[in-house]
Amino acid sequence: MLAWYDRHRRDLPWRTPPGERPDPYRVWLSEIMLQQTTVVTVAPYFDRFVARWPSVSSLASASLDEVLHLWQGLGYYARARNLHACARAVVEQHGARFPDDVAGLRTLPGIGDYTAAAIAAIAFDRRAAAVDGNVERVVSRVFAVREPMPLAKPQLRALAASLVPAQRAGDFAQALMDLGATICTPRKPRCVLCPWREDCAARAGGFADDLPVQAVKPERPLRRGVVFWLQRGDGAVLLRRREEKGLLGGMIEVPSTPWREAAWSEDEALSSAPAKTKWTKLPGTVQHGFTHFRLDLTILAATTDAPPEGIWARPEQFKDYAFPTLTKKVVKHALSVLSD
Ligand code: ADE
């Protein structure tokens, strides 16, 4: 496997050239960005972050707003808040040096079992198994584990740990990631190119394509909300900051009702409106998918001569704010409908 990695390793911005010492800061930053996000999406963000903040100390001295701003578009914003909290914890509690083992890393904000193992292996060559969905797939095939996910997880984790070599655990972790991404793919794995083709039980049985067995997922529920697009005479639009805790915590949004499964009647929705005025329903809706639910937003628009207190920004100033994708979709929809 390591010989295969030496020949085929992907050249990714956070990877250390062979023979050089990895920088734990870059390893940590990339692993946080790569949680639930693809290599292709992460690469330009990684480059911008390290250009702006080349060390954990410089990132710790940035404001949370600056970090959220540069994170804009990567999604799962709790990661950005944890990233910032983690940088500060490393500086304040660990003298700006990352703990060098799984247990120490695990105590830091935003670092769970997978990420602690990945950093310990890649940055500190600890013999830790970083098991994500890709690795689960590879291992389920090599050992022909037919138990459905997620029940199979503990078994797959133990099997993965049994494979980690005593030397070059970090390269082994990244080799498995590359194998899962380029050869042992979810569908039509390219078994003929695989360094483990002779050892793989699922390939021997001809059913690699069917593993891991997925339990049937229930459909994500649909939630609904009504957004209030309120404009002042100078064109500025009313915005607000979401609560720090929870989904999109601390991010900017256009004010709205809460999100719930039951449809909103207009009267009911208006009790959440930021102003008593004549609201007009815009055509169409804005749709967005979160991990655990789908969201469908209706937009009501109005202009006001008596603007309430709040964050007001003209559309040309929107780029100065850390808008999550959902807010960008609302803005795009409202502006395109209103300019027609
Ligand atoms: N996914 C998570 N960590 C990764 C890494 N270091 N390289 C490639 N893909 C990854």
Domain range list for the chain: 2-210, 222-339
> Does any ligand 1 atom lie closer than 6 A to the CB of residue 43?
no
Tell which CATH classification among 1.10.540.10, 3.90.79.10, 3.30.1330.60, 3.40.50.2000 matches the domain 222-339: 3.90.79.10
> Does any ligand 1 atom lie closer than 6 A to the CB of residue 134?
no
Catalytic entry in 20, 31, 268, 309: 31
Ligand 1: residue whose CA is nearest its atom 7: 174
> Does any ligand 1 atom lie closer than 6 A to the CB of residue 31?
yes
Q: For residue range 46-98, what is the model confidence (pLDDT) as tens digits? A: 999 999 999 999 999 999 999 999 999 998 899 999 999 999 999 999 999 99
Ligand 1, atom nearest to 122 Cα: 6
CA of 71 to the centre of ligand 1 (A): 18
- Among the listed residues 212, 172, 209, 214, the one whose alpha carbon sits nearest the alpha carbon of residue 191: 209
Q: What is the pLDDT of residue 245?
A: 86
**Range with the poorest average pLDDT among 94-103, 194-203, 254-263, 316-325:** 316-325
Q: What is the pLDDT of residue 295?
A: 98
> Does any ligand 1 atom lie closer than 6 A to the CB of residue 42?
no
- Cα(228)–Cα(66) distance, rounded to whole angstroms? 27
Q: What is the pLDDT of residue 214?
A: 92
> Does any ligand 1 atom lie closer than 6 A to the CB of residue 82?
no
Q: Is the pLDDT of residue 44 over 90?
A: yes
Q: For residue range 94-123, what is the model confidence (pLDDT) as tens digits? A: 999 999 999 999 999 999 999 999 999 999
Q: For residue range 122-139, what is the model confidence (pLDDT) as tens digits? A: 999 999 999 999 999 999
CA of 32 to the centre of ligand 1 (A): 10
> Does any ligand 1 atom lie closer than 6 A to the CB of residue 177?
yes
Q: How confident is the model at residue 11 (pLDDT cuts 50, 70, 90)?
A: very high
In this prediction, what percent of the chain has a pLDDT beyond 90?
Answer: 94
CA of 115 to the centre of ligand 1 (A): 10
Ligand 1: residue whose CA is nearest its atom 5: 174
20 noted as active-site residue? no
Please give the average per-residue pLDDT across 313-324, as a whole number.
93
Q: What is the pLDDT of residue 318?
A: 95
- Among the listed residues 206, 207, 48, 24, the one whose alpha carbon sits nearest the alpha carbon of residue 99: 24
Please give the average per-residue pLDDT across 253-276, as a whole number.
97
Please give the average per-residue pLDDT across 204-209, as a whole number.
97
Ligand 1: residue whose CA is nearest its atom 3: 31
Superfamily for 2-210?
A: Hypothetical protein; domain 2 (1.10.340.30)
